[in-house]
């Protein structure tokens, strides 16, 4: 007999919500925890001056990892030397030639910040905004307020793949906040209140070496799995931002309820935790394993897309 999947509203009923905590019009949620003191705490974690960027390449000839059903970014030349050779380039005094190109892409088609209103259930977005406000462009809880604010704080990397002795976690492999704490202990680092939580699974890095059909077959990413305890832990820890090297930041289907992406509701929509997805964390993790420094300054400025449900970003880490 087919299992009946409960609604995510039902699964998350009675769990903490931050709606109204920062006022009825708030659109940046748990980023409110990143105060000036938190910026200074992030800066205090800089010890060596090493820098890392976390975005995947856009328009990589090997393909770009995207959620099934979305297309990868398409970049096209609209002006180059070919036009000038055919006499079709614009003529400027002094003989200047230049190249122009355009890109057509899903705003979630690269490393990106989701708007807090990107997902919803039961007709309500983050902070109780009406789902009808998404029609024709996000009038509420779009990515713009997140982009206007920027994200600066102390980040901590938890390498779950390394903890499990693997280069990459298996499809559908899950872990909990207890596993994060155990991995942190093994790494010799603490996850502190208000940390930007960065979790490596190895999944996005593996995309470039895998056969595409295999990557997307029975698509179930590894990741954090829903439990009331995990949601309460994020709430108590006041985590402002969850960054992972997977496309959707959590195991695709909750193995207990069978619901897809319940943490998108429990953490992003209900607590206002911002999600940064499709990060490439392998070079950073490699370096952290070598020098033993797993905490750092995390800085990110998603693009200022008006009414956007998300925006590409190239986060910078300074150790
Ligand atoms: C979906 O919206 C389905 O996923 P993501 O948060 O990865 O964009």
* Distance of alpha carbon 155 from alpha carbon 171, whole angstroms: 26
Q: Which residues line ligand 1 (CB under 6 A)?
A: 67, 108, 114, 119, 247-248, 264, 277
Residue 2 confidence (pLDDT) above 80: no
Mean pLDDT of the chain: 97
State the sign of the Cα–Cα–Cα–Cα dihedral 287, 292, 294, 298: negative
Q: How confident is the model at residue 276 (pLDDT cuts 50, 70, 90)?
A: very high
Q: Which two tokens stand for residue 286?
A: 């490699």
Ligand 1 pocket check: which of 110, 118, 254 to mutate, most ligand atoms within 8 Å of Cβ?
A: 118
How close is the Cα of 212 to the center of ligand 1, in Å? 19
CA nearest ligand 1 atom 4, residue: 248
pLDDT of residue 307: 98
CA-119 nearest atom, ligand 1: 2
CA nearest ligand 1 atom 6, residue: 248
List pLDDT tens digits, range 252-265.
999 999 999 999 99
How close is the Cα of 86 to the center of ligand 1, in Å? 44
Give 3-state DSSP helix, strand, coil % of the chain, rounded to 5. 30, 20, 55
Mean pLDDT of 122-143: 98
How close is the Cα of 55 to the center of ligand 1, in Å? 17
CA-67 nearest atom, ligand 1: 7
CA-264 nearest atom, ligand 1: 6
Cβ-Cβ contacts under 8 Å for 212 (sequence gap 6 or more): 63
Residue 17 backbone class (left: φ over 0; alpha: ψ -120 to 50; beta: rest): beta
Mean pLDDT of 159-174: 98
* Distance of alpha carbon 16 from alpha carbon 97, whole angstroms: 58
Mean pLDDT of 61-76: 95
Mean pLDDT of 201-223: 96
Helix (H) or strand (E) holding 297: strand 295-300
pLDDT of residue 3: 72
Cβ-Cβ contacts under 8 Å for 50 (sequence gap 6 or more): 287, 318, 319
Three-class secondary structure of residue 178 per DSSP? helix
How close is the Cα of 22 to the center of ligand 1, in Å? 25
How close is the Cα of 48 to the center of ligand 1, in Å? 35
Residue 1 confidence (pLDDT) above 60: no
Q: What length is written for the chain?
A: 319
- pLDDT over 90 percentage in the chain: 99
């Amino acid at each position: 007999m087919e299992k009946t999947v409960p609604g995510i509203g039902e699964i998350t009923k009675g769990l903490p919500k931050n709606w109204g905590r920062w006022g009825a019009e708030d659109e940046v949620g748990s980023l409110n925890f990143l105060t000036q003191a938190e910026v200074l705490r992030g800066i205090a974690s800089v010890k060596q001056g090493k820098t890392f960027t976390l975005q995947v390449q856009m328009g990589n000839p090997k393909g770009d990892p995207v959620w099934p059903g979305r297309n990868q970014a398409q970049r096209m030349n609209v002006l180059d030397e070919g036009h000038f050779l055919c006499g079709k380039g614009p003529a400027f005094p002094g003989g200047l030639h230049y190249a122009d190109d355009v890109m057509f892409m899903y705003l979630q088609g690269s490393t990106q910040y989701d708007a807090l209103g990107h997902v919803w259930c039961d007709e309500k977005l983050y902070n109780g905004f009406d789902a009808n406000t998404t029609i024709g462009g996000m009038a509420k809880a779009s990515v713009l307020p997140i982009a206007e604010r920027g994200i600066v704080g102390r980040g901590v990397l938890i390498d779950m793949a390394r903890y499990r002795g693997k280069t990459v976690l298996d499809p559908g492999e899950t872990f909990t906040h207890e596993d994060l704490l155990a991995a942190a202990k093994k790494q010799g680092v603490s996850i502190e209140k208000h940390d930007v939580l960065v979790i490596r699974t190895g999944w996005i890095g593996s995309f470039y070496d895998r056969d595409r059909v295999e990557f997307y077959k029975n698509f179930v990413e590894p990741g954090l799995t829903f439990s009331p305890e995990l949601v309460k832990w994020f709430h108590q820890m006041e985590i402002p931002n969850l960054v992972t090297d997977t496309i959707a930041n959590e195991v695709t289907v909750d193995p207990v309820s069978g619901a897809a992406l319940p943490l998108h509701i429990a953490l992003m929509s209900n607590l206002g935790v911002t999600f940064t997805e499709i990060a490439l964390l392998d070079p950073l993790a490699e370096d952290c394993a070598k020098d033993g420094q797993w905490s750092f300054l995390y800085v990110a400025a998603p693009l200022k897309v008006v009414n956007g449900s998300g925006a590409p970003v190239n986060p910078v880490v300074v150790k």
